[in-house]
Amino acid sequence: MNILHKKLLLLLLFIFVNIVMLVACKSNDINNDKVYSVNIHKDNAKALSIKDIENKNDSNNELQMFKKIKNISNFSIYNILINYEEVNKKDNIISKEQLFLDLTLKPNESSLISFFNNEKIKDINIVSYEYHNLDKVVTVNLSDNSVVINKSLTNLKDSKEYEVLSTSKIYKVKNSNKTDTYAIDIKNTSKKELGNITIKIGQLNKDGDYIIVDNISSYNVVKSYEDLNIEIKGLENTEKIELLGYSYDDIKNKANISIDLKLHKASVDN
């Protein structure tokens, strides 16, 4: 085999390898949902650890009871619903309540949840919780140690084509002894007019726990390539603020789009 043939063979081999790598990358993009569509079963379905946090009085001298939940699984969860009982000083259950956490928790992420109480309440017992994975809804009953796994009916789409807002980093605009003020700059990068833009933000404490999830709305119609500035009030113990997602009205198509930036998924309500 002469030198020319060797060079040609090497060139063809190089082209073949690059084609294989390109196909593999495209295949990974297409099957990206498999990262979230994990095999959830009884042994790994208990995605949350629950820990008691010291109780304290708030600024209105009302007793608050805290618990810390942490995602100890290897998959992301969202739409977390906590079912709990309020117990009085005589250890009697006086009410059964629910608490919804509109937050996506990735593996090892945690959030504080608070329960407002009065002098009648001695303790909070969490008896079960529910969460969604992209293709499943899971209910974990802590009372009898049972797990129910069903297919999720939520239709989530890849958010790439719906992420039409460019956003700045969240920055501080005003210092205060109690609550600082932050802001975020937003631009409508689409060719459409957008209405009712709402950002979902999460505030974290020094330990990296989410302490509040809030939705802040701007009711103005934002034209194509128009800018918008939204202010955010920080809590006293906030160390960091994250943009978790946003929603907007697609005026032309009469649709409301909600985007989870942690999952990079969108829900479309026509």
- Express each pLDDT in 163-204 by its tens digit: 999 999 999 998 887 789 999 999 999 999 999 999 999 999
> What is the domain partition of the chain in residue ranges?
48-151, 157-269
DSSP of 117-161, one letter per residue? --TTEEEEEEEEEEEEETTEEEEEETTTTEEEEEE-----EESGG
Higher pLDDT, 145 or 34: 145
CA distances from 179 to 39, 60, 192 (A): 43, 16, 36
For the cut 90, the answer to whether the pLDDT of residue 254 exceeds it is: yes
Q: Please provide residue 160's backbone torsions phi and psi, each rounded to the nearest 5 degrees.
A: -55, -45
* pTM for the predicted model, two decimal places: 0.82
Q: What is the CATH number of domain 48-151?
A: 2.60.40
In three-state secondary structure terms, 69 is strand
Which CATH architecture group holds 157-269?
Sandwich (2.60)
The residue that leads in pLDDT, 202 or 6, is 202
Q: Residues 84-97: pLDDT tens digits? A: 999 988 999 999 99
Phi, psi of 252 (to 5 degrees): -65, -45
The answer to whether residues 228 and 194 touch, using CB atoms and an 8 Å cutoff, is: no
Which residue, 266, 179, 236, is CA-closest to 56?
A: 236
Contacts of 24 (CB under 8 A, 6+ apart): none
Whether 157-269 and 48-151 are alike in CATH topology: the answer is: yes
